[in-house]
């Protein structure tokens, strides 16, 4: 399993956190989603069949912004 970590902004409340987790869980190949709203970070576990750009697009479509490191 591959893991990717992003610093994100836009998780203002638990509703957005739930929307983000549900949206990512619908993508084939994603096996784990850990969201830390306090730190503004997300960790996603996925397999080789999942494209990293698909994960990024999903996060941004929910309304969160990926912060550059």
Question: Mean per-residue pLDDT for 39-58?
Answer: 95
DSSP code of residue 53: H
Domain locations in the chain as residue ranges: 2-64
Sign of the CA dihedral running 10, 13, 15, 18: positive
User: What radius of gyration do the chain's Cα atoms show?
Assistant: 11
**Cα–Cα distance, 55 to 52 (Å, whole number):** 5
- Residue 69, pLDDT score: 56
Which residues, in sequence order, are bridge partners of residue 8?
66
Give the predicted TM-score (pTM) of the model: 0.90
- Residue 12, pLDDT score: 85
CA distances from 49 to 42, 44, 46 (A): 20, 14, 8
pLDDT digits (tens, 9 = 90+) for 12-48: 889 999 999 999 999 999 999 999 999 999 999 999 9
Judge: domain 2-64, CATH 3.30.70.100: yes
Identify the residue with better confidence: 14 or 69.
14
């Amino acid at each position: 399993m591959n893991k990717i970590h992003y610093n994100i902004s836009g998780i203002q409340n638990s509703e957005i956190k739930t929307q983000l987790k549900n949206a990512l869980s619908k993508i084939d190949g994603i096996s784990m989603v850990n969201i830390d709203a306090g730190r503004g970070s997300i960790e996603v576990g996925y397999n080789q069949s999942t494209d990293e750009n698909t994960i990024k697009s999903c996060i941004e479509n929910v309304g969160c912004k990926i912060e550059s490191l």
